[in-house]
Amino acid sequence: MVERRMSVATHWGSFIAVVDSGRLVRIEPRGDDPAPSPIGPGMVTAADDSARVLRPAVRKGWLNGLPRARDTARGEDAFVEVSWDDAITLVSDELRRVRSQHGDSAVFGGSYGWASAGGFHNAQGQLHRFLALGGGYTDSRNTYSTAALEVILPHVIGGHPWSYQSRMPMWDEIAENCELVVAFGGLALKNSQINAGGLARHQTQNLQRQWPKGSGGS
């Protein structure tokens, strides 16, 4: 066995990927990460899991031309794999149809989510660029996590939409000045295993241990 070891960056932090003959065989934590996420090693089995989508697939009823406005099979129908050429043709034909009948604003640029921790390979960014180059689309505003805060709090505390984050105390300020910390779910260590921009070192656990004895969460 000739193994190759390489650094990889993921949603859940930086790891060492061990590859043998082009196949991922093991994920190891980096030595400089004080609290590696246990999610990382799961990528080994996820690479070949039966639930992984390997090629384009189209809902069977849609592919067979059933009435789409009243198709009760949506959400229950099976999916049929098609070639990349067929998939590209189907998507391009539908985009032309919608734009010609309803205009660019009828195309919704969805795919909102954590599809990638990178910038260039971010699924939402690539989709929006593609739709913009095609003529335009309808986008969404704010986030599904903190949209109400972004809109309302500037009218309450002033500042820009992200003021509620920029005004939060830092970990060292909490440790130095707080006698009691009360949290409602948001400080769970599992929530700190992931970051949209990627993580190098998981420091939350060590930072929380700096809090005064007696601090608690509920």
Which residue numbers are catalytic? Answer: 112, 114
How far apart CA 200 and CA 30 sit, in angstroms, is 9
How far apart CA 204 and CA 198 sit, in angstroms, is 15
Which residues neighbour 74 within 8 Å (Cβ) at sequence distance 6 or greater?
A: 59, 61
Please tell me the number of Cα atoms within 13 Å of 172 on its side-chain side: 0
123 touches 111 (CB < 8 A) = yes
How far apart CA 125 and CA 17 sit, in angstroms, is 27
Q: Whats the size of the chain, residue-wise?
A: 218
Number of other residues whose CB lies within 10 A of the CB of residue 211: 17
